[in-house]
Amino acid sequence: MGAAYTSIEEETLAAAIQDGAAQTSPARKPTTDIPPGSLPCGKIRNVSLSRLFLGGNVIGGWAHSRDLAYASKLFTTYNNEAKVFETLELAQACGINTIQLDPACWGPVTKYNRQRSTKIQTMVCIGLAEDKTRMNDVVKRQVDLGATFLYSHGGVTDSHMMSGGKIEVLGQMLDLIKAQGVPAGVGGHSLSMPMECEKSKLGADFYVKTLHVDRYWSATPKERRKEYDWMRGDSSDHNANFDNMWCNNPEETAVYMETVDKPWVAFKVMAAGAINPQIAFPHAYRNGADFVIAGMFDFQIETDVKIAIEGVRKAGSRKRPWRG
C-alpha cells in the first residue's frame, strides 16, 4: 500500500503542535543565509523601510479564503504568540523592518518591541470620522501606541468613496496625522482612490493600493468586473467576485501610478495566496510599486525576501521612477 496522503493543512497544524511542545526550550536566535543589508530599503518622508514587509494577518488571523471556512482558524492556531515572536525575529534577521498592522493587533507587537532593542516599525491602518475631534482621537491613540506610519484602511476608504463620502474627510485625516509628526497615507483597492486624492491635492505622503496580475484561475472574468465589487459581499454568481480579486484593472493602475510622484505601497500582490510570489513580487516592482506588503508565515520569509531582493534588482529599468 502506498504512503498515506497528508494535506498541507494537516502538516501545518502538526507543525503548530510541535512548536507548542518546544516552547519550554530556551529561545534561539533565528539564523539566515541572507547577508545583512541585502533587502533594499526606501523612504517615506524621513523614515526608512524595507521594500518588502509583513502583512498584519500573521497576527489578526483573518484571511481572504474564498469559500474555505477553516483558513482563519488555521492562521490563529499556527500563529500563537510564541510563533508570532519567532516570525518577527526571523523577518528582522532577513532585513524586514516593518509590519502592516490593524489597531486590533497591537498586543503582540507592543510586547515584542518592549522586549527588544531593535523595534519593528508599524504601518497602521485606521478608520475615518467626519467629526474632527473624534478623528484626532483615533490618530493620537495610534501615535501614542507607537505607530510609525498611519493610513486609512483600504476597505474603509472604499466604503466611504462608494457611498459618496466627502473627499475632505480624507484630507482632514491626513492633516491630523501630519500634525502628530507621522507620515500620512491613504489606502484603497479602487484606482479612483489615488485619482481623487491627487485631483483634490490632499497631500498624502504615500498611497497603499492593491496591485496583482489578473491571470490566475479564480480571477473574475473581465466582463463581470464592477467597481467596488470586492465590497459588495459574496455573490451567488460563480462568474462574479467571490472574495477572489482586489485589483480589477492592474494595467490601468500601473499606467496611472506612473504619473504619481508619491511612494506607493502595494498590497494583495499575491491575490490572497492565488499567485506565486515569484510572479507577484517582480510584477509589483516592475510595474511601479515602491514597497510590497505580503502576508507570510515564518517558513515563507527567507524565500520571499530572496525573491524580493532579486525582484527589486531586476526592476531597475521600470518606467516609474522609485518614489520612496
> 261 — phi, psi (to 5°)?
-100, 25
Residue 14 inside a domain? The answer is no
Tens of pLDDT, residue by residue, the chain (324 residues): 444 455 555 565 555 555 554 443 445 678 999 999 999 999 999 999 999 999 998 898 888 888 888 888 888 899 999 999 999 999 999 999 999 999 999 999 999 999 999 999 999 999 999 999 999 999 999 999 999 999 999 999 999 999 999 999 999 999 999 999 999 999 999 999 999 999 999 999 999 999 999 999 999 999 999 999 999 877 788 888 988 999 999 999 999 999 999 999 999 999 999 999 999 999 999 999 999 999 999 999 999 999 999 999 999 889 999 998
Joined together, the cell numbers standing for residue 71 give 483558513
pLDDT at 141: 98
3-state secondary structure at position 300: helix
Amino acid code (one letter) for 312 = V
What's the pLDDT at 40? Answer: 98
The rounded distance, in Å, linking the Cα atoms of 5 and 302 is 27
- Is 300 part of any domain? yes
> 31 lies in a domain?
no
Query: Which class for 183: exposed (0-12), middle (13-18), buried (19 or more C-beta within 10 A)?
Result: buried
Location of C-alpha cell 477572489: 244
The answer to whether position 3 is within a domain reads no
pTM, to two decimals = 0.90
Which residues are CB-contacts of 134 (< 8 A; sequence separation ≥ 6)?
A: none
What cell does 154 get?
483600504
Report the b/e string of 229-238 with b at 16+ CB within 10 A: bbbeeeeeee
CB atoms within 10 A of CB 95: 23
Q: How far apart are CA 210 and CA 204, in angstroms?
A: 17
Is 2 inside a domain boundary? no
Could you tell me the residue range of the domain that residue 97 belongs to? 36-316
Q: Which of 144, 273, 134, 292 is nearest to 209 (CA)?
A: 292
* Domain containing residue 278: CATH number: 3.20.20.100
Structural domains counted in the chain: 1
CA distance 321 to 324: 9
CA 128 to chain centre: 19
109 belongs to a structural domain: yes
Residue 89 lies in a domain: yes
In sequence order, the 6+-apart residues with CB closer than 8 A to the CB of 72 are 61, 62, 63, 65
Q: Is residue 324 part of a domain?
A: no
For residue 7, the model assigns a pLDDT of: 53
H helical segments located in 217-276: 250-257
Distance between CA atoms of 2 and 24, rounded to whole angstroms? Answer: 36
pLDDT of residue 26: 43
Cα separation, 292 vs 283, whole angstroms: 11
